[in-house]
Copies of this chain bind each other. A is one copy, B any other.
Amino acid sequence: MRTHTQPDSKQTDAIEALFADRGLRCTNQRRALYAALASHKYHPTAEQLYYQVRGRVQGLSLATVYNTLEALCRCGLARKYSGEAGTARYDACVHNHVHTCCQHTGAVHDVPDELSQRLLDCIPAELLKELESELHFKISHVQVQLIGVHEGHQILGG
């Protein structure tokens, strides 16, 4: 296989530091996958990431994509979503935001930060505290999805 090729860049250093901080080994594959994930505006599936990153890191395998995504999720650097469709989607875990999910196409989009924040701010922390103690459930985060259809699409009656 390939000897270690390390592109010099501020961002790479930042990623290395991030990984080190979480006790993750920093491999070319992981670095590239995380960089791709973090730069994604939407929410790629494992397969999409695979094809995207494959061009940059040779010999990347889909298994590694899954392994890496799982590692990233486990240490809190990424999040896994399972929208309406059967395929899991991922994003780099920057901060909590709201998603829209189209019932027609299955597409998942972000709600812009400002709006997301306003929506999430509606839920008072005390209520969450109360839920935690009532349900004996430690809440790590609240996930909000707006289910519906993008304008121009109709739900077929049936």
Contacts and interface: CB of A to CB of B under 8 A. Distances in A.
Nearest to A145: B143
Please state the number of chain copies in the assembly.
2
Contacts of A85: 82
Nearest to A153: B138
> Chain A interface mostly helix, strand, loop or mixed?
mixed
Interface stretch (A6-14, A34-42, A55-63, A114-122): A114-122
A46 to B, nearest CB: 11
B131 A123 contact: no
Counting chain A residues whose Cβ lies within 8 A of the other chain, the interface size class is 35 or more
A134 B122 contact: no
Interface string A118-158: 11001110011011101111111111111111111001111
A16 interface: no
Choose among A23, A71, A132, A143 the residue with the greatest number of B CB atoms under 10 Å from its CB.
A143
Nearest to A128: B146
Nearest to A142: B146
Sorted from nearest, which 7 A-B pairs have the closest CB atoms? A82-B82, A74-B158, A136-B151, A140-B148, A139-B148, A143-B145, A122-B122
